[in-house]
Chains A and B, each alone.
Chain A
């Protein structure tokens, strides 16, 4: 068990304390789980705009003449199809098809990429990339410790950030990024996020993080901007049905079962895991990831069993109470024969079997700006 003394802190730790964030250990970091409360923070992002410190996320840069071919070999999605300043969501798999990580690839040029990876996987990913790069002419840098990251999410995020940048943010399309001076500091601003709202993720030198974060908070007053903790980050992503590494996917899971076939391009040249994933695709899915919602009062949690006529037919991987729908929701793996929206099942919650139904994802319509 880790003690608070060996937890890493982001450059914004003092700001979190000042805003009365409740700090908890998360993936080896001391992070704010909430400020004013998960529900009001969730609503703040759905209704207007909120800011998240996600500096615990990892950043890995890959540069050099072989950068494109290395990234193409490591990733399941088609890196060759990317343009400069584009972002692509992808998986990085083991030869077994299990998932090393899910991540965002940003392309500066075909000899320079940067990856945004999960905090808990940063070191593992870095080692995995190094290990697989022997015959490639590249430099691989783990820049996580010198890079801060904020997410500004919600329909007012563009109007707010525009007040701090000269670059026209409306020209940054969904899943694209630009080098932008924000409050006069160099940053990378991408139109990406994990909430289902329009919004941006900002990467910035850790030394300037606090200054810029405070400038955004000050400018955000007129938009009623609030700091948002990891609690609401989780409820927001769950309403969108977004997978979370460690819950829906891990090194043992089959990404096709997780509904991630759209980022696995079996038609592209060889990539790590391709042979096994082709086999899995041929064999078909025994179980599938689905959205589930309680039809009675209650809250869903990971590992609750899903029952049909008293027999287990699946298990939850994530669960919570949806502040938008005012009901228990979750993500679950369920036997393929039952995995259709509208299917009525039960969830075992302590001693009770509570009625539930499978739901087509996302639980709420996404409001990201797809051009």
Chain B
């Protein structure tokens, strides 16, 4: 299971890549594998505010619907429009081209409660039992 070292994670299997006061958010390899073929992504509006731990979008596979939970609060600065026509990019490149939104962080301290790669790897192993 791929868990890049330069990212932070949530228990709901989102990842976040922090770059100064901006952060890119996506779902992990583990999450896309659990969902299966992703066929639809509902994205938030650019400029909207998202709240830490609240749903900000939806990913649907053939089998199931899954809410996207915000790892941190902030204002949406970009959304990955490509996912509207090619949602399967998330399956193929969850940590790269399959990113979902970019936000401007409201509170740097939101980051403190996130999981580091080791803690996240442990979490995935637990769930695979």
Residue B42 interfacial (CB < 8 Å): yes
CB atoms of B63 and A33 under 8 A apart: yes
**Within the assembled complex, what's the spacing in Å between the Cα atoms of A298 and B40?**
6
Tell me if B's interface is mostly helix, strand, loop or mixed. strand
- Closest residue of chain B to A352, judged by CB? B42
**Within the assembled complex, what's the spacing in Å between the Cα atoms of A34 and B39?**
16
CB atoms of A321 and B36 under 8 A apart: no
Q: Which residues of A are found within 8 Å of B63, using beta-carbon distances?
A: 33-34, 38, 231
Q: Which residues of B are found within 8 Å of A328, using beta-carbon distances?
A: 40
Q: Known contacts A231-B63, A323-B62: does B42 contact A37 (CB below 8 Å)?
A: no
**Within the assembled complex, what's the spacing in Å between the Cα atoms of A38 and B39?**
11
Q: Which residues of B are found within 8 Å of A350, using beta-carbon distances?
A: 42, 58
Contact of A231 among B39, B40, B62 (CB under 8 A): B62
Contact of A301 among B36, B37, B65, B84 (CB under 8 A): B65
**Within the assembled complex, what's the spacing in Å between the Cα atoms of A232 and B36?**
12
Q: Which residues of A are found within 8 Å of B65, using beta-carbon distances?
A: 299, 301
Number of interface residues of A (CB under 8 A): 17
Interface string of A17-52 (1 = CB under 8 A from B): 000001000000000011001110000000000000
Interface string of B33-60 (1 = CB under 8 A from A): 0001101101000000000000000101
Q: Known contacts A231-B62, A231-B63, A350-B58: does B40 contact A321 (CB below 8 Å)?
A: yes
Interface string of A277-316 (1 = CB under 8 A from B): 0000000000000000000011101000000000000000
CB atoms of B36 and A38 under 8 A apart: yes
**Within the assembled complex, what's the spacing in Å between the Cα atoms of A38 and B61?**
9
CB atoms of B40 and A37 under 8 A apart: no
CB atoms of A34 and B40 under 8 A apart: no
Residue A235 interfacial (CB < 8 Å): yes
Q: Which residues of B are found within 8 Å of A149, using beta-carbon distances?
A: none
- Closest residue of chain B to A230, judged by CB? B63
CB atoms of B36 and A299 under 8 A apart: no
CB atoms of A38 and B62 under 8 A apart: yes
Q: Which residues of B are found within 8 Å of A77, using beta-carbon distances?
A: none
**Within the assembled complex, what's the spacing in Å between the Cα atoms of A270 and B82?**
61
Q: Which residues of A are found within 8 Å of B37, using beta-carbon distances?
A: 37-39
Residue A320 interfacial (CB < 8 Å): yes
CB atoms of B42 and A321 under 8 A apart: no
Q: Which of B60-116 contact A (CB under 8 A)?
A: 60-63, 65, 84
Q: Which residues of A are found within 8 Å of B60, using beta-carbon distances?
A: 298-299, 321
**Within the assembled complex, what's the spacing in Å between the Cα atoms of A235 and B60?**
15
- Closest residue of chain A to B65, judged by CB? A301
Q: Which of A303-347 contact B (CB under 8 A)?
A: 320-321, 323, 328
CB atoms of B39 and A37 under 8 A apart: no
- Closest residue of chain A to B67, judged by CB? A350
A296 to chain B: closest CB distance in Å? 10
Closest 4 CB pairs of A and B: A38-B62, A321-B39, A39-B37, A299-B60
Some 18 contacts from A to B, beta carbons below 8 A apart, are A22-B36, A33-B63, A37-B36, A38-B36, A38-B61, A38-B62, A39-B39, A231-B36, A231-B62, A231-B63, A297-B40, A298-B40, A299-B65, A320-B62, A321-B62, A323-B62, A350-B42, A350-B58
